[in-house]
Structure 1
Amino acid sequence: MGGYRAGSLALQRQLGVRERAEHVGRSLGQGIKPVAAAFLELQPLLVVGAADPATGRVWASPVVGTPGFVRATGPRQMSVAGGPPPTDPLATALTTPGTPVGTIALDPRTRRRMRLNGRLRPTARGFAVEADQVFSNCPKYIQRRESYEVTGARTPGPARLGGRLDRAGMECVRTADTFFVATVHPAGADASHRGGDPGFVRVDSPGELSWPDYPGNAMFLTLGNLRTDPRAGLLFLDWETGTTLQLTGEARTEFSDGGGRRVRLTVTEVVRTPAAVPLRWSAPEYSPANPDR
């Protein structure tokens, strides 16, 4: 249900932000308000995070459609027309009743984002999610992209699988200004966003990457989940070509003496799909909140 999980509460206490987190946590609800419903209907992209029921590995996957393909169809229900292709690592999870899922709709045009977590129910047209948590985040670290076009002639290339990052995958990570991260906890799943100037994600080896945990809203939902379950899935999207890079593995948070935090992911599996998303976004205007590296 709504509220903070054990891992998040432990981190909030450790870092001395429990009071602030309690104040921010009042935004955690179970209902989809009219402004949130209107926001969802404008989006061409939804990112979904979950664990594959067959392997237990956590992935983050894009689901794309004409605006209106994601809609609120009840006080606590979001319905999605369509889903990922059969080759996507989450294809099975998103057709399995009761799968815990985390979702995030991010609009680069307005630097707004909305997250909805809950349990999945397959439908005739796609799937629906009965919400346990619904909330919005501040625009921090979201790069503004003023417009997009649908490239109908774009045909997805064959998925390239591996256990480590190849040269193209490493370049995708090093040049990224945005990625999405999926995590899980005993009662569900969560999908979140991370952003920064290109280079904020570091490739430490073909099997390991890391990124700084910039100051945020003190909720520590992602890091709290990782504290109790290290499984994580990352999605990198090339906003111009539509190529996706999906990683799964285990992540841990490293704390420095100066109070900084860095998250390190050990990669288990990689899926890179050329032209997977039929959207081409305009060039970014980097968030003024992005720290100097």
Structure 2
Amino acid sequence: MSDTSVFHDGELFVQNKLGVTKDVAKFAPRAIRDFMPDQHRLFYQMLPMMIMGALDDQGRPWATAAFGQRGFMHSPDQHTLQIGALPVLHDTLNLQIGAKDKLGFVGIELETRRRNRMNGVVDLVTEHGLTVTVDQSYGNCPQYIQRRDVNLRMLGPDAQTVTQSKQIDANAKQIIEAADTFFIASRTQEIDGDPRSGIDASHRGGHPGFVKVTEKGHLMFPDFSGNQFYNTLGNIAADGRVGLFIPEFDTGRAVFLTGRAEIIWDGPEVDAFMGAERSVMVNPEAIIVAENVLPIKGDLVEPWPLLKNTGHWE
């Protein structure tokens, strides 16, 4: 890795390929910090949901989330975040959430479209939650976030059901192709003490149907204009393993999957979707459909207004 950049080699490769390296280098060192500013610390403490990216016992990334009453997260100082819950399905997914394990986070306030990201290292984990020390922390813009009114829902102790598969069945396909939001976890090839290595968690949004299932059972989604950091694409370029969490906010069910991703830089798969700058194809290796897994309900209030500048699969 470059000794002076806040980015790892995969991110720098994508930035260089797309001609934005010099522009990003002008502001990224100020934007990406090794601590949480106070506004981020207060922000996390107001959320009922925290998106997490973690690895399983095979080194595969999964995206999932922890939930709780607003205030279930607490930041005692600028370098520490305490999360008062473990992510859903952590046992089923065999997630590696122990001392010194690296995790990626996205905090997102769906009511206001605010979001912030943080990558860190687990200090302490108990049956009630975990404590994380910050590696990198930075803000994200509100692009492509659908505004939702979020409320907690009660889930019975036996309400959750889980179906596991290696292929996308009709139930999973229906959830995937109706989604206007998903979260993606990705990883660097090597994970060590370098703060640039580890797992990233990121949000993606579009019109319902912006994620499609191909005839071969792959997932395809457009990559729109963003902050030009290319954290996710950089990880895909360097490693390729990803995990997707596709929630159905109105019913409480969700799809979780892990697989191998490929960036499609140009060609018909990009041209077929208005507004796409690239496309990403994911070959799933393990898929879980979980019913009654989300202890929140998110009623759609307003799609991201500039979705009008994006299209649908042709």
- TM-score relative to the length of structure 2: 0.87
CA distance in 2, matches of 1:217, 1:68: 29
Q: 1:268 to 1:28 in 2, by over 3 A?
A: same
CA distance in 1, matches of 2:143, 2:27: 15
What is the match of residue 41 of structure 1?
45
- Structure 1 residue 87: Cα displacement: 5.6
- Quick one: which of 85, 97, 101 aligns to 2:99? 97
- Structure 1 residue 289: Cα displacement: 2.4
8 A Cα contact 1:84 1:90, kept in partner: no
CA distance in 2, matches of 1:15, 1:182: 22
8 A Cα contact 1:7 1:228, kept in partner: yes
**Is 130-139 or 201-210 further displaced after alignment?**
201-210
1:140-289 map, 5 Å? 140-145=143-148, 147-154=149-156, 156-185=159-188, 186=190, 187-205=197-215, 207-256=217-266, 260-289=277-306
Q: Secondary structure at the match of 2:161?
A: coil
Give the aligned residue type for 1:149: N
Q: 1:33 to 1:144 in 2, by over 3 A?
A: same
1:21-170 map, 5 Å? 21-25=24-28, 26-52=30-56, 54-85=57-88, 88-90=91-93, 92-94=95-97, 96-124=98-126, 125-145=128-148, 147-154=149-156, 156-170=159-173
Q: Secondary structure at the match of 2:75?
A: strand
- Structure 1 residue 219: Cα displacement: 0.7
- Structure 1 residue 23: Cα displacement: 3.3
Give the aligned residue type for 1:260: E
**Is 153-162 or 82-91 further displaced after alignment?**
82-91
**Where in structure 2 are there 5+ consecutive unaligned residues?**
191-196
Q: Secondary structure at the match of 2:233?
A: helix
Give the aligned residue type for 2:144: Y
- Structure 1 residue 153: Cα displacement: 4.4
CA distance in 2, matches of 1:284, 1:209: 27
- TM-score relative to the length of structure 1: 0.93
- Structure 1 residue 122: Cα displacement: 2.7
8 A Cα contact 1:24 1:217, kept in partner: no
**Where in structure 1 are there 5+ consecutive unaligned residues?**
none
Give the aligned residue type for 2:298: W
CA distance in 2, matches of 1:217, 1:102: 18
Give the aligned residue type for 1:268: E
- Structure 1 residue 154: Cα displacement: 4.8
CA distance in 1, matches of 2:74, 2:288: 29
**Is 206-215 or 33-42 further displaced after alignment?**
206-215
Give the aligned residue type for 1:202: K
Alignment deviations for residues 203-228 of structure 1 (CA, whole Å, 9 cap, x no partner): 11363111010011111000001111
- Counting aligned pairs with the same residue, the percent is 30
CA RMSD of the aligned region, Å? 1.9
CA distance in 1, matches of 2:211, 2:153: 28
Regions of 4+ moved over 6 Å: none
Give the aligned residue type for 2:138: F
